[in-house]
Amino acid sequence: MPPPSFQKLRCPGHSVKAFLAAVAIFTCINICRLAMLMDTGGSELFTIADAALPSTRLVNISIVQISDDSSRKKLAPNLENLNCYARLQGYQIILANIDKDCRQKTKDIHFLRQCTVHRLMMNAKNQGSTLPSVTRDHWFLVLDGDIAVINPNHRIEEYIEASRNRYEGDVIHGLRFHNNEVTACIYLVKNSQFGREYVRSWSDLYPEQYHHQLGNSDIKMHYGGANSDNGALYWHLLQYLTDADVPGQQECLQAGQNANKSETHATYIAFVTCFHKVAKQTRCRGREWDRIDILPRRRNIAVDGWPFGWQFSDHSFMQHTIKSPPMRIPAAHSIYRPTAVRGRWPPPIFSCSLSSHDPLAYRMDEFYVNETYFAAMEEWADTMQRKKRNNNPLSWDDNSCIQSGR
C-alpha cells in the first residue's frame, strides 16, 4: 500500500444541504426523462442529447454507446451521467440497440457492438441521416456501458490532440494501466472511409465466420477467438500496422490463431506479448501508423477504476468498471491495497449538473483525491507492477514505441 506519508487531501468546501437538494430535484427530473427514453425498442437509432455545436469546434463528435434494453436499464445511471456530460460540453450522445442485420452474423455481444458501430457510421454519411453532417470531420467516441465520466471538465478533443496524428488520424486506442492491453472498451474513430473499413473488418473477425463460410478444411489463418473483440483487436492491428517481413509477425499471427476460447489465459497473454514485440520492431512507423494511434498508459481516455480503488484526481476523465451493483475486488487482485476493495456506484449526477455553475463540483465525489496523492499512488502501483513483471514479463515493455510515445 502507499507509504503513510501520502496525504489524501480532499476539497469539500460545499454545503451538504445544497447537495441533497440538488440530488432530490435532479434525480426526480432525470428518472422520469430516462424512463421515457427506455421505451424505444427494436434496432432503431435514437438520440438522448443533440446539443448545438459551437462554431469554433474543429470537428463533430458523437458519444456512442451500444447495448440491449436489459443492460441499458441496468446501467441507466451511467447513461444519465453521459447524457449530463454531453449537454454540459455540447456533444451529441447516441444510444443504439444492436443492429438486427448484425445479429445474423454472430451471437457474440462484443462483435455485435462493433458491427453496429459500423452501421451507425454508414448511416451518418447518408443524406437522410439524423446524425451530424460530414461538412466537418465526424468522430465517434465508442464506449462500453460500464464507463462513466468522473471529471466533466475534460473535453474529448484533448485526447485527439494528445495523439501523435492529432486530427489527421482516423483511429485512437489506448493502453490499460496494469497490463498493457490495448482497450477495446473505449476508442475514437473518425467517420472516414478508412475509419469505416477499419471498424467493419474488425467486426468481421468473429470466429464463426471462418467455420461457417470457409469450412473445417480451409487452411486460411484466422484469429482463434480468445477474449472476444479485445483479443481480435491485436490480430486486427497486426494486419494494419505491420508487414509480413517484420521479424516475428508470422509467428505472432500463429499465436493469435492458437489463442482460442478453450485455451488458457496464458495463451492469450502470450499473444498480447508478441503483439507488443512485433509493434516495437516497426518503431511505430510505416504502414498505417499515421492513421492509427495507441495512447500510452496514464493517458488513455478511460482507466480501469478497480486498480486504484476507483479514486481519481483532476487529470482523470472517465473510469471503466463502474457497475450496478458495484463490483468488489479481492485483496489479491488490488494493486495497492492490502484489503478487499469495494466498488463504486456511478458518480452522482448532480455533481455533473452543478459543474455548469461550479467547475470544481466533481471534487465533492468521495473518491476524489488531490493530484499529488494520485501521482504518488500511480508511481507506487507502477513499482509494484514492475516487481511482478520481473517474474512474469508477459505483455509488458516499458520501452515500446507505444508506451514511450515514440
pLDDT in tens, the chain (406 residues): 444 344 444 444 444 444 444 444 444 444 444 433 333 333 444 454 555 555 567 889 999 999 877 777 888 889 989 999 999 999 999 988 899 899 988 889 999 999 999 999 998 866 445 565 555 689 999 999 999 999 999 999 999 999 999 999 999 999 988 778 899 999 999 999 999 999 999 999 987 665 444 445 444 678 888 899 999 999 999 999 999 999 999 999 999 988 886 666 778 888 998 999 999 999 999 999 999 999 988 889 999 888 888 889 999 999 998 887 777 776 666 555 555 566 777 776 666 777 777 888 888 888 899 999 988 888 877 776 677 666 565 556 667 788 876 5
Distance CA 120, CA 63 (A): 12
Position 75 scores a pLDDT of 84
Indicate the pTM of the whole model.
Answer: 0.84
Domain membership of residue 365 (yes or no) is yes
Model pLDDT, residue 403: 80
In a domain, 354, yes or no: yes
Residue 380, in any domain of the structure: yes
Within 13 Å, how many C-alpha atoms sit on residue 278's CB side?
28
Q: Which sign does the torsion angle of CA 291, 292, 297, 302 carry? A: positive
DSSP E strands in 175-230: the ranges are 186-190
Considering the domain boundaries, does residue 263 fall inside one? no
Residue 138: per-residue pLDDT: 93
- When divided into structural domains, the chain yields a total of 1
Structural domain including 189 reads 16-220+284-391
In a domain, 46, yes or no: yes
CA distance 107 to 228: 11
114-137 exposure pattern, b = at least 16 Cβ within 10 A, e = fewer: bbbbbbbbebbeeeeeebbeeeeb
Confidence at residue 336, expressed as pLDDT on a 0 to 100 scale: 53
- Is 198 inside a domain boundary? yes
pLDDT, position 316 = 94
Q: What is the pLDDT of residue 214?
A: 45
Cell of 99: 443492429
CB-based burial, 226-258: b 16+ in 10 Å, e otherwise: bbbbbbbbbbbbbbbbbeeebebbeebbebbbe
